[in-house]
Structure 1
Amino acid sequence: MLFAWTAKGQDFHFSQFYASPLNLNPALTGSTELSRFGVNYRKQWPGLSYDFNAYSAYFDHYSYDLKSGFGVLVNSFQEANMQMNTSDISFFYSYNLSLSEDWSFRLGGQAGYARRSARLDNLIFGDQVDLFSRTINQSTIDQIPDFEPYGYLDLGFGALVHNEHLWLGASAYHINRPNLSFFPDNEVGFLPVKWSVHGGFSFPLGTNNYFGSKFDNQITLLFNYKNQNPFQQLDIGAQMLYGNVIGGLGFRGIPGTRNMPNQDSIILLLGVNLPIGMVIGYSYDFMLSEIGSAAQGAHEVSFRYQFLMGDPKSRNQRSRILKCFNFMM
């Protein structure tokens, strides 16, 4: 192991990033112009002795009178080895500005409170390792701090420009760079700003009739680039809605970065889009790196329910825009 003077944390990520829209961009708050409730679960590297688990739940609502979206998000991330838990709750607001008949611009913000806790009992220091007998001693001369749970304020913002079929957005989280050090007085253990650029294009494939009901089929091409010093990641993929069935294929990695291959995963997606407004998705990350066979990839499940509050006949509401966000994972 190599130790440096500073340590930088990295956020957890979801392969189904559009199924967790508030974790992607605050400007996506109310983007379906419906009321929306969703939950996400990800289990990463189940083949290892210590894995990673992430839970997320959110609710957002769009107000036509205020041209605004309101939302709340709860996340929980657990790392098994050190029993490190990070939980947060965030509140979101976005405003929808009409640029023309077809184009809109959304600007959103996020303010949240996070709390972290951990147990350092499983840490092994250098003086505990006996290279000759290949054993681990129980005692160490290093001082293990009593790490008390603590909280911090977390801020973010995002923007999105779009029409019915094309969108491009950018977001930045942790813009206040909260301190994550186990030692409260340490001024270098900060969480770097995570910024993302994402977008996509959807095009219809026509309408089919199944058992007397009409279904609009379409294909969506999408990408999401993330950077959180010094890490970067690119997701590209395609998803198809045919009837009630959603299928998709994605790739994560940046080949050839720093003269080293960075090919992380092939992502397989499958889901159903039910007429009652319910979308259920599953994805599996098939890892391409050498650790893939031992780690056994990652499993991810998403669920969301979308509905329209109030009586749509009481106001002259136009048809939904960004229909791809109604089903996209």
Structure 2
Amino acid sequence: MKRALLAFCMLFFTSVTCLFAQDIRFSQFYANKLYLNPALAGSTNYSNVSLNYRNQWPNLDLPYVTYSVSFDNFYEALNGGIGITVIQDDQGDGALKTTTFAGMYSFYLRINDDLIVRPAIQAAYMQKKVDWANLVFPDQVSPIYGSIFPHNTSGDPANRKKGGWDFSLGSIAYYKDYYFGIAAHHLAKPDLSFDDEQEDKLQTKITVHAGAEFVLGGRSRRYADNWILAPALLYQKQGDFSQMNYGLYASKSSMVFGLWFNQNFEPNYDSFIAMVGFVTERFKVAYSYDYAISKLIHTNTGAHEISFSFPLVADMNKRRKRIKAVRSPVF
């Protein structure tokens, strides 16, 4: 019956005159840096591959599951970073899939020895697809015998796949141990409605993020016994939806701990995000959990998220210091 209800809800919402979709939200913001801001492409001294997995509200029979894979590198010939990323979001056991392919370029602009600015541009293709295979519709269900009737397809959308091009801009500036970034995604506002007479526009998303790093004791980061604290802020607004995130990372040696407070002003959904990560020169991996503290605490079990990334270099000890890397959090 839950799948029947899901199918009914999907048909209801796609029949609304004007819809405004929203983006996926990852909790490990900087572990999926290309999704956060295209200006972070090529922001380290080596090429990097990142994998991300998010499972939201896993207590539901049909949770929201999102996967992403990305690659980025700094190219001296281009004086900038190139990044590519693929993201797939599955809703309703794959009944509704949204896939995004994006490529970006960030320009490396050195103002002086301490101040670096990186403007960026991104182009993407988005596709939304409906798959009825695993769904049971209300007209198939008998109150007594269950799912026994064939589905009447006359009211189904004729086009079950819709795509559109999109463009985004971003920039980040960092001065010594401080950084500030801003990004504007979906400037083209792609229409992903399955009905040509209706709209399902993806509204422009504005992201502002900032932070700093402080070494306790004032000694160099080269000392493994020093604690490093990294406070951070992240604000996002998309259509009528806005949220503020207040975070703090604490790292020592190979361990990284993070705690974020997520405040959604509408519809007043608040949560804590707790994270633990392990970082080496060969790879970094982290796990985070979203814990709801609003009224939704009784209706969901938060969200699980796992990230894994590794550099693509043959010998980490021989890599060149080509650029001044961004002092942003690793997760």
Q: Normalising TM by the smaller chain, what interval?
A: 0.7 to 0.9
- Contact 2:269 / 2:294 at 8 angstroms: preserved in 1? yes
Aligned-partner SS, 2:108: strand
* 1:198 alignment partner in structure 2: 209
Structure 2 distance, partners of 1:128, 1:313, is 64
Partner of 1:86: 98
Q: Sequence identity of aligned pairs in percent?
A: 30
1:186 aligns with 2:192: no
Tell me how far 1:191 sits from its aligned partner: 1.1
Task: Return the offset for 1:289.
Answer: 2.4
Question: What residue number does 2:84 align with?
Answer: 72
1:273 counterpart residue number: 279
CA RMSD of aligned residues (A): 3.2
The residue aligned with 2:168 is 156
Cα shift at 1:164: 2.9
Structure 2 gaps, min length 5: 1-8
Quote the residue 1:289 is aligned against. Answer: 294
Query: Equivalent residues in 2 for 1:1-329 (5 A)?
Result: 4-80=16-92, 83-119=95-131, 122=135, 143-183=155-195, 185-186=196-197, 188-206=199-217, 214=224, 217-254=227-264, 257=265, 262-274=268-280, 276-306=281-311, 317=321, 320-325=324-329, 328-329=330-331
1: CA distance, partners of 2:87 / 2:236: 19
- AA in 1 matched with 2:34: L
2:131/2:160 contact within 8 Å kept? no
The code of the aligned residue for 1:79 comes to Q
Q: Relative to structure 1, is the Cα distance of residues 52 and 314 closer, same or farther in structure 2, using a 3 angstrom cutoff?
A: closer
- Unaligned 5+ runs, structure 1: none
Look up the SS of the partner of 1:14 in the other structure: coil
Amino acid at match of 1:203: F
Between the aligned partners of 2:218 and 2:180, the Cα distance in structure 1 is 26
| SS in structure 2 at match of 1:22 | helix
How far, CA to CA, are the matches of 1:217 and 1:101 in structure 2?
Answer: 26
- Using the size of structure 2 for normalisation, the TM-score is 0.83
Q: Is contact 1:207–1:215 with CA below 8 Å preserved after alignment?
A: no
| Aligned-partner Cα distance in 1 for 2:197–2:96 | 19
Report if the CA contact (8 A) 1:34-1:309 is conserved.
no
Shift of 1:24: 0.5
How many angstroms apart in 2 are the aligned matches of 1:150 and 1:263? 31
Kindly state the Cα deviation for residue 201 of structure 1 after the two structures are TM-superposed. 1.1
